[in-house]
C-alpha cells in the first residue's frame, strides 16, 4: 500500500486543501498504520508546543560584540544589548536586579551641560557644581549627593527630572562638590565590569546611595553607531565599594 | 529609526563598513538562533558555542549574502550548518546512538516544575530523533516557519520537508512513549517506498 506521506504532516497542521484532505481521509479509513501514526504525530506536535523559548544566556554575544567593535575602527559605543546582558547577569547573580523603565528626550551636546546641572528627580537635590565646566570638557563630572538614597522608583524620577530640566541653565545654589579624581574613579568603576566602554556618552554621574548602599549612578545616552543620534538611555548603578552592579534601567528614546 | 530598518538594509550598511548595523541584526535574531541551536544540540553550552559561531560566521560571510532569500532564512541556514558542524565535531551525531549520560540541562523555571519536567522530556526525546528529521520539526513546529522556508533553510524540496516532518513527529512521539529508537537507525514511516522517491 502506498501511503500519502507528504500529506500527513499537512493533515495534522490543517494545511491541506479539501481535495487533499478527502484523499487522506479515504486512506485513513483503510490504513491502520497511518491512523496510528496520525495519533502519534498529533501527540508530537502538542509536545513540541510545550517547549518554552529560552532567553539567550548572559555573555553569549560578547565575542560577537567584540568582533563588531574590532571591525568598527574608531567606533565609540558598544551595542547596547551587550551591556544589557552583562548587567542583567551580574544583577541576577547578586539578586539585586531593579529594572526601571525610564525616558529621556534626546539630548544634544548643547543640552548636556544643562542636564548635568539639573537636580536629581526623586532623591535629594544635587548640590552646586564648581569646576563643572572643566570637568564637562573632559567628560568627567561627579555630582555628590551624600544624603540621597535612590530606590528603583527614584531612578525613573531621576530620568524624568533630567528630561524636564534640560532647559535649565542656572546651577542650583548650595554646597556642590565636584571631585575630579573621584569622578575618574567613578567612571572607571562603571566601566570596570566590562559592559561599558570609555567611549560611552555619559550624561550624568552621581555619587549617592541605592537602597542604602553607597553607589555611583551613571546616565548614558547610546547611539546605534558612530555619527548617529542617540536612541536609548541607560542608567547604571554600581556599588562604590566593589563596582558591583546594583541596578540598571534602559529604554529606547 | 534604525530599529525599524529592514534586515536587508542593515546588511547593506554593515557590508559597506558600518559594522554596528550588524549589531542590530544580532539583537533581532539572537533569540531565535540560540533557541534553534539549543533544541538542535540539547545542551546550553553547545548552544552558546553554536550561537557565537553562527553570528561570527555570518559576520565574516555577510558580503556573500545576495538577498535572494530573506536574511532570516540565510541566518537560519548558517545556524543549521553550524549546528551540524558542532555535532560532527563532538561526535554526538547521530544522536540515536548516544548514551543517556548527556542529558539536556533543565531550563531554569523553578516555579513551574511540572512544565519544566515535561519540556525536559520533550527535549530528551527530540535528541533521540536523527538530526535531519529533528531540524525540520524545530523549524516548523517550534519556530513556526512555513514548509517553504524550512525547505530553503535545509536545502531540500518542500515534499521532503513534509515527509521528514511526519516521520520525525512519529519518531518523537514514540521516543516520548518510551519506545527505544536505538534499534531503529531511522524513524519508521508509513511507507519506505515514499522515502526513496
DSSP A181: H
Name every chain A residue with its beta carbon within 8 A of the beta carbon of B51: 56, 60-61
Per the DSSP assignment, residues forming a β-bridge with A221 are A201, A233
Q: Are A53 and B38 in contact (CB under 8 A)?
A: no
Q: Which helix (H) or strand (E) holds A114?
A: helix A109-117
**pLDDT value of position B66:** 80
Instruction: Determine the longest span between alpha carbons in chain A, in angstroms.
Output: 92
Contact (CB, 8 A) for B162 and A10: yes
Minimal CA separation from B20 to chain A, in Å: 6
Residue B70 has pLDDT above 60, yes or no: yes
- Cβ distance B176 to A64 less than 8 Å, yes or no, reads no
Pick the range with the lowest mean pLDDT from A10-24, A59-73, B85-99, B135-149: B85-99
The C-alpha cell at B31 is 533569540
Mean pLDDT (chain B) is: 81
Q: Where are the domains of chain B?
A: 1-93, 98-197
pLDDT tens-place string over residues A191-200: 655 455 544 5
**Residue of higher predicted confidence among B139 and B191:** B139
Distance from CA of A94 to the nearest CA of B (A): 17
Nearest to A56 among B22, B30, B163 (CB): B30
| pLDDT over 50 (residue A129) | no
Q: Determine the average pLDDT of the residues in A2-26.
A: 93
Q: What is the mean pLDDT of residues A86-108?
A: 40
Say if residues A211 and A149 touch (Cβ distance below 8 Å).
yes
Q: Which residue of B has its CA nearest to A11?
A: B166
Nearest to B52 among A9, A10, A64 (CB): A64
Name the residue among A223, A169, A179, A228 with its Cα closest to residue A201: A223
Q: Which CATH architecture has domain B98-197?
A: Orthogonal Bundle (1.10)
Residue A188, pLDDT score: 75
Q: Which residues contact B109 (CB under 8 A, 6 or more apart)?
A: A52, B115, B116, B119
Rounded distance, CA A54 to CA A137, Å? 44
- A 10-49 near B (Cβ less than 8 A): 10, 12, 15, 31, 33-34, 37, 40-41, 43-45, 47-49
Q: Give the C-alpha distances (Å, rounded to integers) separating A69 from A64, A65, A84, A193.
A: 9, 6, 16, 17
Find the Cα–Cα–Cα–Cα dihedral A235, A237, A240, A241, rounded to 10°. -150
- What is the per-residue pLDDT across B132-187, written as a single tens digit (0 to 9) for each? 999 999 999 999 999 999 999 999 999 999 999 999 999 999 999 874 444 444 55
Pairing mode of beta strands A143-150, A201-210: parallel
Strands across the sheet containing A232-239:
A143-150, A201-210, A213-222, A232-239, A245-252
Out of B107, B173, B194, closest to residue A41 by CB? B173
Tens of pLDDT, residue by residue over A151-192, are 877 877 777 666 554 422 223 334 355 556 777 778 777 765
Q: Given this model, what pLDDT does residue B110 score?
A: 41
Predicted TM-score (pTM) of this structure: 0.55
Identify the band that residue A14 occupies on the pLDDT scale cut at 50, 70 and 90: very high
A57/A54 Cα distance (integer angstroms): 8
Q: Name the residue among B52, B126, B194 with its Cβ closest to that of A5.
A: B194
Residue A152 three-state SS: helix
Q: Report whether pLDDT(A223) > 60.
A: no
pLDDT bucket at B85, cuts 50 / 70 / 90 = very high
| ipTM value | 0.79
CATH 3.30.200.20 describes domain B1-93:
no
Cβ of residue A61 closer than 8 Å to a chain B Cβ: yes
Are A55 and B47 in contact, with CB atoms under 8 Å apart? no
Closest partner residue to A52 among B22, B119, B163, by Cβ?
A: B119
pLDDT, average across residues A129-142: 46
The answer for B65, left when phi > 0, alpha when psi is -120 to 50, beta otherwise, is beta
pLDDT at residue number A128: 33
- DSSP H stretches of helix in chain B: 7-15, 20-41, 44-60, 71-89, 113-127, 131-137, 147-154, 158-176, 192-196
Using one digit for the tens of pLDDT, what is the confidence trace for B8-39?
A: 999 999 998 888 899 999 999 999 999 999 99
Query: Which residues on chain B are in Cβ contact (under 8 Å) with A75?
Result: 19-20
Closest by Cβ to B166, choosing from A5, A56, A71: A5
* Higher pLDDT pick, A178 / B100: A178
Identify the closest residue of chain B to A1 by CA–CA distance: B191
Cβ–Cβ pairs < 8 A, chains A and B: 162
Q: How many CB atoms within 10 Å of residue B24?
A: 20
A93 touching B (Cβ < 8 Å): no
Pick the closest to residue A84 from A243, A220, A185, A225 (CA basis).
A220
pLDDT above 50 for A133: no
From chain A, pick out residues whose CB is under 8 angstroms from the CB of B2.
224-225, 228, 231
Highest mean pLDDT among A101-110, A210-219, B89-98: A210-219
Nearest CA to A180 out of A246, A129, A146 is that of A129
The nearest CA of chain A is from the CA of B122 a distance in Å of: 6
Amino acid at each position: 500500500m502506498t501511503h500519502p506521506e507528504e500529506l500527513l504532516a499537512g493533515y495534522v497542521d490543517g494545511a491541506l486543501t479539501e481535495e487533499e484532505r478527502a484523499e487522506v481521509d479515504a486512506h485513513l479509513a483503510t490504513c491502520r498504520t497511518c491512523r496510528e501514526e496520525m495519533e502519534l504525530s498529533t501527540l508530537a506536535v502538542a509536545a513540541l508546543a510545550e517547549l518554552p523559548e529560552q532567553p539567550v544566556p548572559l555573555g553569549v554575544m560578547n565575542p560577537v560584540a567584540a568582533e563588531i567593535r574590532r571591525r568598527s575602527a574608531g567606533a565609540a559605543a558598544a551595542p547596547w544589548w551587550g551591556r544589557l546582558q552583562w548587567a542583567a547577569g551580574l544583577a541576577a547573580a547578586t539578586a539585586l536586579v531593579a529594572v526601571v523603565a525610564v525616558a529621556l528626550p534626546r539630548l544634544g551636546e548643547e543640552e548636556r551641560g544643562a542636564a548635568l546641572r539639573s537636580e536629581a528627580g526623586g532623591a535629594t537635590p544635587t548640590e552646586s557644581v564648581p569646576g563643572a565646566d572643566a570637568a564637562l570638557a573632559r567628560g568627567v563630572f561627579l555630582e555628590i549627593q551624600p544624603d540621597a538614597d535612590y530606590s528603583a522608583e527614584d531612578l525613573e524620577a531621576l530620568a524624568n527630572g533630567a528630561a524636564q530640566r534640560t532647559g535649565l541653565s542656572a546651577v542650583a545654589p548650595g554646597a556642590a562638590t565636584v571631585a575630579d579624581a573621584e569622578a575618574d574613579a567613578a567612571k572607571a568603576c562603571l566601566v570596570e565590569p566590562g559592559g561599558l566602554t570609555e567611549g560611552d556618552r555619559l550624561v550624568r554621574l552621581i555619587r549617592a546611595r541605592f537602597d542604602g548602599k553607597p553607589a555611583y549612578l551613571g546616565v548614558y545616552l547610546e547611539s546605534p553607531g558612530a555619527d548617529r543620534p542617540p536612541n536609548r538611555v541607560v542608567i547604571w548603578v554600581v556599588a562604590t565599594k566593589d563596582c558591583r552592579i546594583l541596578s540598571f534601567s534602559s529604554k529606547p528614546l | 529609526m534604525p530599529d525599524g530598518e529592514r534586515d536587508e538594509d542593515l546588511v547593506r550598511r554593515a557590508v559597506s563598513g558600518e559594522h554596528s548595523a550588524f549589531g542590530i541584526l544580532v539583537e533581532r535574531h539572537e533569540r531565535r538562533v540560540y533557541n534553534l541551536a539549543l533544541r538542535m544540540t540539547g545542551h546550553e553550552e553547545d548552544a552558546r558555542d553554536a550561537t557565537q559561531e553562527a553570528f561570527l560566521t555570518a559576520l565574516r560571510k555577510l558580503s556573500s549574502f545576495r538577498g535572494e532569500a530573506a536574511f532570516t532564512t540565510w541566518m537560519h541556514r548558517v545556524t543549521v550548518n553550524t549546528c551540524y558542524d558542532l555535532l560532527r565535531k563532538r561526535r554526538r551525531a547521530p544522536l540515536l546512538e548516544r548514551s543517556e549520560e548527556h542529558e539536556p540541562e533543565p531550563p531554569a523555571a523553578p516555579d513551574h516544575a511540572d512544565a519544566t519536567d515535561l519540556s525536559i522530556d520533550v527535549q530528551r526525546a527530540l535528541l533521540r530523533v536523527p538530526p535531519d528529521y529533528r531540524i525540520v520539526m524545530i523549524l516548523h513546529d517550534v519556530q513556526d516557519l512555513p514548509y517553504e522556508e524550512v525547505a530553503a533553510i535545509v536545502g531540500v524540496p518542500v515534499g521532503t520537508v513534509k515527509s521528514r516532518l511526519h516521520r520525525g513527529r512519529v519518531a518523537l512521539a514514540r521516543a516520548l512513549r518510551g519506545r527505544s529508537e536505538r534499534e531503529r537507525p531511522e524513524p519508521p514511516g508509513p511507507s519506505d517506498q515514499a522515502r526513496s522517491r
